[in-house]
Amino acid sequence: MLLLNVDVISERISNRKAKEIYELICRQTTVSKIELLEQSGMTVSTLTRHLEELTAQGLILESGFGVSTGGRRPILYETNPAYAYVFGLEISRTLSKLVLVDLGMTKLEARSWAMTAEMTPDVLVGLIVKEAQAMLAHHGIAISDVLGIGIGSVGPVDRHSGVILEPSYFPSKGWQQVPICKMLSEELGIPSMLDNGANTAILAESWHQRSQSFKHLLYIHAGVGLRSSMVSEGKVIYGAVDMESSVGQMIIQTDGVAPRDKSGNYGALESYVSLHAIEKRAKSAIKMGRTTLLTQLVADPEQLTYVHMMEALQKNDGLVVEIVTEAATYFGIGLANLLNILHPEKVILGGPLLAGGELFFQTATAVAIRKAYYYPAYQVVFSRGGLGEEALAIGAAVLVMNRLFKV
């Protein structure tokens, strides 16, 4: 994952076996010494020595005793959330968000900024640095107690060099070839790591659901574009290149709608399911004279936004219901294609389109289930996730925390 001086994070636990034990404890809420013996395959003396070392370092805590199975009650261990702190940063097209969390991924503070036409990389970095320093001062946290800052950004990104490459549709100029990790590390004096936002979101949800039995998770973010990622056995699946936005170029109608830009495919899913596509459909309908509450909310159809559409949807406006249902149906077809290829156990759906109410979510998931090839033998769980719209930023913090396990 990313670079610069991130090795100082993994060096906090110098022994490989100690890292293994710490990761086992992190992946569970509390765990007994007996369970750790079974899971690690270590001898009692080796496990005991490393547990004592981790406790002495303040990385783990003894949290009481478990239920006795005949002998002495086993000691329970858990991670120490106050050992260190992490910043998580989301950089998206509509907003950017900074969170400060402890190692239990409990949010201490958060701040968001709208991504306006004035929000260039330099402006945003300046705001982030000022806010991060204020957060640390407010909570009395020394910079030496901060592991680093993780960044989940709109892709494509080069996570190895820490550069945001050529993202589309940012409101401001200057978001091409941005060395975001270098910029933030130099200003804050802490390690930085980068991945695309879909990957950080699914890292967060996987962490949040770590006590559950799901091994294969798929995440789809639907907003300005479509972004996806997948976790298998707790690990993000990476391709040869950053694949974050490729799901939006899934062709669902070969002679369909033209792409928004020349690099896209005709009839691609994103041309039917995105904020731009839905707004475009509504603007066209208003110009054709369709009856709708939208004309009471905005005088000029070209000024229409998705926010206006959600306001009309709350009032059950017929046109908006029609447009959202149609988009959700296309989205469900795309989901079914992914189900039939990847067969995840659980699908987590996020982004503005999913936050707009039940209609989109219920329509899309119903279509996907009906078109899943092995249904009902193949049962998939759909969810909006447990972290909502903070998943991308918190997952960026998880990205940094995971570096502690790196050998």
Strand partners, 226: 222
pLDDT tens for each residue of 130-179? 999 999 999 999 999 999 999 999 888 998 899 999 888 889 999 999 99
Percentage of the chain beyond pLDDT 70 is 94
Rounded Cα distance, 203 and 221, in Å: 13
Return the CATH number of the domain spanning residue range 7-79: 1.10.10.10
Determine the angle formed by the axes of helices 44-57 and 33-40, rounding to 10 degrees. Answer: 120
What DSSP assignment string belongs to 367-378?
A: HHHHH-TTTTTS
What are the tens digits of pLDDT across the range 43-97? 889 999 999 999 999 999 987 776 666 666 778 899 999 999 999 999 998 899 9
In tens, the pLDDT along 348-373 reads: 898 889 887 899 999 999 999 998 88
Domain with CATH 1.10.10.10 in the chain: 7-79
Tokens of 389: 């719209």
What stretch of H or E contains 97?
strand 95-102
Pairing state between β 216-222 and 226-232: antiparallel
Tell me what the mean pLDDT of segment 317-335 comes to.
Answer: 95
- Element spanning 152, H or E: strand 146-153
3-state secondary structure of 364: helix
Query: Could you tell me the pLDDT band of residue 203, with boundaries at 50, 70 and 90?
Result: confident
CATH number assigned to the domain with residue range 85-204+390-405, chosen from the 4 options 3.90.580.10, 3.30.420.40, 3.10.129.10, 3.80.10.10: 3.30.420.40
Q: How many C-beta atoms surround the C-beta of residue 38 within 10 A?
A: 9
Which residue intervals of the chain bear CATH 3.30.420.40?
85-204+390-405, 213-385
Residues 213-385, CATH architecture: 2-Layer Sandwich (3.30)
